[in-house]
Amino acid sequence: MSAYIFGHTTPDSDSIIGAISLSYLKNQLGEDTTPTRQGDINPETRFILDRFGFKAPELKRTYAGESVYLIDFMERSQSPKDIDEATILGIVDHHKLGDLTTNSPLEMWVRPVGCSNTIVKQMFDYYGVEIPKDLAGMMMCAILSDTVIFKSPTCTKEDTKACKELAKIAEIDDYKALGMEMFIVKSDVLNATKEELVLRDFKDFNMGGVKVGVGQLEVVDLTVFDSMKDELFNAMREIKEKGDRDTVILLLTDIIEEGSQLLVVSDSISKVEKAFNVNLDSGEVWLPKVMSRKKQIIPFLKQQF
Ligand SMILES: [Mn+2]
């Protein structure tokens, strides 16, 4: 029976490409695995898949009775609803320790690097398995995406090293230019509904017994949002009510200016204000140098909630 490998809900490029790359490695090592996904493919990931000639993993949302590997997450809130009825064989991730547990021993590759695909690259090296050229190109793109072309504070020397080695295998000299091309695709926010935009890269966290959802959009120029702020706030309010959330935050990250505009809809606004030492009377605030949700947003929210 094939084991399934998948990333978090509302998957990003790291989750989709990580499922494909880890599945390829596992199969080379003699296991039978299938990459899957828990949600739609976003425009950036579509661009990468098309660029390297891969098809998207199959959409699969239930895993009761199945064996699974998780990549790029280990939070219950980002898991399939029936995760407790699945057998977790292993986890490959670069996030904080989550709240999932298992009944039997498992394989864990968890490291504080900027991208899950950096860890998968290290696994290929560990096992001495060669990475095919096009797969290397995709893994390189996942690293450029997660580390915001090395600008994110989550980026480590291991990420830049893995990225450069993958670029070499993929025979791509100007990988930063390809990274920029990816972020320009990502910046096209005009062809989506406001709800889709808030949910495009959205993660729920359980904080002190309440649900806090944090979305992030990374663009090359924040002015694209100027005419749609009110509608974004409306969509955030709706998402907050529908999902029974205490707080919904949207990070509008400017990858050139290197900072984020924080939009907040919350029943605990003073906690969010305290977390970042800001005033949120207008519902929004600019945070210079803030680019990483996992490193610069979530820990400070957790502290207050
Ligand atoms: Mn990731």
The DSSP string of 63-110 is: -TT-EEEEES---GGGS-TTGGGSEEEEEEE-S---S---SS--EEEE
Which residues touch 298 (CB under 8 Å, ≥6 apart)?
A: 96, 205, 214
pTM: 0.91
Task: From 182, 184, 248, select the one nearest 216 (Cα to Cα).
Answer: 248
Which residues touch 109 (CB under 8 Å, ≥6 apart)?
A: 90, 91, 92, 93, 119, 122, 123
pLDDT on residue 206? 93
Q: 3-184, what's its fold?
A: inorganic pyrophosphatase (n-terminal core) (3.90.1640)
Question: At 107, which amino acid appears?
Answer: E
Contacts of 82-85 with C-beta under 8 Å, sequence gap 24+, read none
The CATH number of the domain covering residues in 194-304: 3.10.310.20
Q: What is the mean pLDDT of each run of 10 residues along the chain (305 residues)?
A: 96 97 98 98 96 98 98 96 98 96 96 98 98 98 96 96 98 96 90 94 94 96 93 98 98 96 98 97 97 96 96
User: How many angstroms separate the alpha carbon of residue 116 from the centre of ligand 1?
Assistant: 5
- Contact of 147 with 155, CB cutoff 8 Å: yes
User: How many angstroms separate the alpha carbon of residue 8 from the centre of ligand 1?
Assistant: 9
pLDDT on residue 190? 87
User: How many angstroms separate the alpha carbon of residue 216 from the centre of ligand 1?
Assistant: 13
User: How many angstroms separate the alpha carbon of residue 279 from the centre of ligand 1?
Assistant: 30
- Contact of 276 with 261, CB cutoff 8 Å: no
pLDDT on residue 191? 87
pLDDT on residue 239? 98
User: How many angstroms separate the alpha carbon of residue 204 from the centre of ligand 1?
Assistant: 15
User: How many angstroms separate the alpha carbon of residue 99 from the centre of ligand 1?
Assistant: 17
User: How many angstroms separate the alpha carbon of residue 139 from the centre of ligand 1?
Assistant: 11
The domain limits of the chain are 3-184, 194-304
Read off the DSSP letter of residue 228. Answer: G
User: How many angstroms separate the alpha carbon of residue 6 from the centre of ligand 1?
Assistant: 12
